[in-house]
Amino acid sequence: MTDHADPLVLDFVEWIAREPRAYAEVVATWKTSCPRLTIWEDAADRGLVTRKTLPEVGLAITVTADGEKLLRLNGR
């Protein structure tokens, strides 16, 4: 994991950190048709977020320990 992150990746991880987000909500909110703008895929590839099944949400996206560390290191 790198301590430096793209500002949009930081925004995405911070948004997820506020509360577990349903997978469908994440896809709908962060989808893009631009192949060069892969914010949530980048965050997942870097281990900053993960998919998890939660009883109250179903399939959800949550922040990992590395994601929390990245937010702290970047003052978020």
| pLDDT surpasses 50 at 54 | yes
**Tens digits of residue pLDDT in 11-25:** 999 999 999 899 999
pLDDT score recorded for residue 1: 45
22-61 b/e with 16+ CB inside 10 Å = b?
A: eeeebeeebeeeeeeeebbebbbebebbeeeeeeebeebb
Q: Sketch out the chain's domains with CATH numbers.
A: 7-73 (1.10.10.10)
User: How much of the chain is helix, strand and coil, in % rounded to 5?
Assistant: 45, 20, 35
pLDDT score recorded for residue 58: 93
| Rounded Cα distance, 53 and 46, in Å | 20
pLDDT score recorded for residue 31: 79
In the structure, what pLDDT confidence band is assigned to residue 33 with cuts at 50, 70 and 90?
confident
